[in-house]
Chains A and B, each alone.
Chain A
Amino acid sequence: MSIRNTPTRWGHIAQFLHWLIVILIITQVILANIAEDLPIGPKKIEVYAWHKSVGITILCLAILRLLWRWANPTPELPSTLKPYERALAKVTHFGLYLLLFAQPLTGWMMTSARGFPVSWFGFLQLPDFVPKNKALYEAMKDTHDTLALVLYVIIFLHVAAALKHHFFLKDDVLRRMLPFTKKS
């Protein structure tokens, strides 16, 4: 397997970015739920600070991922796919990429509109994305919460499709994104 993608397989870099972002998204969901349930205090501030730092990390990784995708061949979808399946795959993947940007950005806007500046892991204070604005905060909070639900639905479709390819269609669509597997 190579560093770069081939027309039939994702390379090391693409795989690494994919699975790293998977881990970070799971982390985000856990952190958000912990923070929400905590009473107001330093612990709540800390968990939200981690959530914001990881979110900004995902945003940076998403940019890298898109650049890498443009600089590499994209493995082709199996020729056995029906046109609607092909369209559904494209829409799902587009939605995932879109949310990799939309979630960090709405989160960043939400905290800036609230008037709480963001520091990336305590190393770097980010500029405020938007000026302080209560109505904008409320709108961004609703959007961020709603997009999280949309993300869950799209991830469900994405995982279901990957498992269908692997266990029912028995093709290499899942395997070509997995490290340590050989090309069938």
Chain B
Amino acid sequence: MKLLVSSVVSLLVTSGAYAADAHYALDPAKSTLEYQFTQAGALNKGKFKKYTVTLDVAGDAPSKLDVVIEMGSLDTGDQERDDTLKTADLFSVAKFPQSRFTSTQITKTANGYDAVGKLTIRGVSKDVRVPFTFSAANGSLIGKVTIKRLDYGVGQGDWKATDQVGNDVAVTYALHLAAH
């Protein structure tokens, strides 16, 4: 019995060690984090220039995703619009310089994975499901999630109206991660 228990323990430890956690971090030069939104009925695009992404992988399955975005690095291709987006009524960047997604659980899906966790923007946290595909071979993490800006208070005062600036924001990520 003692032998059996010790065998099981050693097996567990061994298999745990075998499925050692790999830790992936972002290669910013090869990654894009973009968003699409409607403005005046037309589709507009923007991106973030500074953000960090880490992904823990247990065996060959992603186990934890963490994304931190520097909101001051938002870039919609127009200085005036970027400055406006950083003001208190929109992203309020001075007060909330970062947005963050931290997964609590990652599950396998038909096409890839779902990271379920908390997304915090402008100080408001909401549970979201972030779908993605991940290839350990080349470190690519790709996907798209649509969120509603007003869920996070992005749009106070006049900006609460959604007829000119839509509520839906599609965030697309094509990231390259490198194992560390």
Q: Which of A42, A115, A118 contacts B165 (CB 8 A)?
A: A42
Bitwise interface map of B from 153 to 175 toward A, beta carbon under 8 Å scored 1, else 0: 00000110101110000000000
Q: Are the CB atoms of A132 and B77 closer together than 8 Å?
A: yes
Distance in angstroms from B22 CB to nearest chain A CB is: 40
Q: Are the CB atoms of B41 and A125 closer together than 8 Å?
A: yes
Q: Are the CB atoms of B78 and A114 closer together than 8 Å?
A: yes
Q: Which of B42, B77, B163 contacts A125 (CB 8 A)?
A: B42
Q: A40-B84, A46-B163, A114-B78 are in contact. Are A119 and B158 (CB under 8 A)?
A: no
Q: Are the CB atoms of B164 and A118 closer together than 8 Å?
A: no
Q: Are the CB atoms of B164 and A46 closer together than 8 Å?
A: yes
Q: Are the CB atoms of A42 and B78 closer together than 8 Å?
A: no
Q: Are the CB atoms of B158 and A116 closer together than 8 Å?
A: no
Interface size band for A: 20 to 34
Q: Which of B78, B161, B164 contacts A49 (CB 8 A)?
A: B164
Q: In the assembly, what is the distance between CA of A117 and CA of B42, in Å? A: 6
Distance in angstroms from B153 CB to nearest chain A CB is: 16
Which of B39, B41, B44, B84 neighbours the largest number of chain A CB atoms within 10 Å of its CB? B41
Bitwise interface map of A from 22 to 61 toward B, beta carbon under 8 Å scored 1, else 0: 0000000000000000001111011011001000000000
A121 on interface, CB distance cutoff 8 Å:
yes
A83 on interface, CB distance cutoff 8 Å:
no
A122 on interface, CB distance cutoff 8 Å:
yes
Distance in angstroms from B32 CB to nearest chain A CB is: 17
Q: Are the CB atoms of A115 and B80 closer together than 8 Å?
A: no
Q: Which of chain B's residues has its CB closest to A43's CB?
A: B158
Q: Are the CB atoms of B77 and A45 closer together than 8 Å?
A: no
The interface residues of chain A lying within 8 Å CB-to-CB of B42 are 116-119, 125
Q: In the assembly, what is the distance between CA of A42 and CA of B164, in Å? A: 6
Q: Are the CB atoms of A42 and B159 closer together than 8 Å?
A: yes
B-side residues, CB < 8 A to A, are 39-44, 76-78, 80, 84, 158-159, 161, 163-165
28 contacts between A and B (CB under 8 A): A41-B158, A42-B158, A42-B159, A42-B161, A42-B163, A42-B164, A45-B39, A45-B164, A45-B165, A46-B163, A46-B164, A48-B40, A49-B40, A49-B41, A49-B164, A114-B78, A115-B76, A115-B78, A116-B39, A117-B42, A117-B44, A119-B42, A122-B40, A122-B41, A125-B41, A125-B42, A125-B43, A132-B77
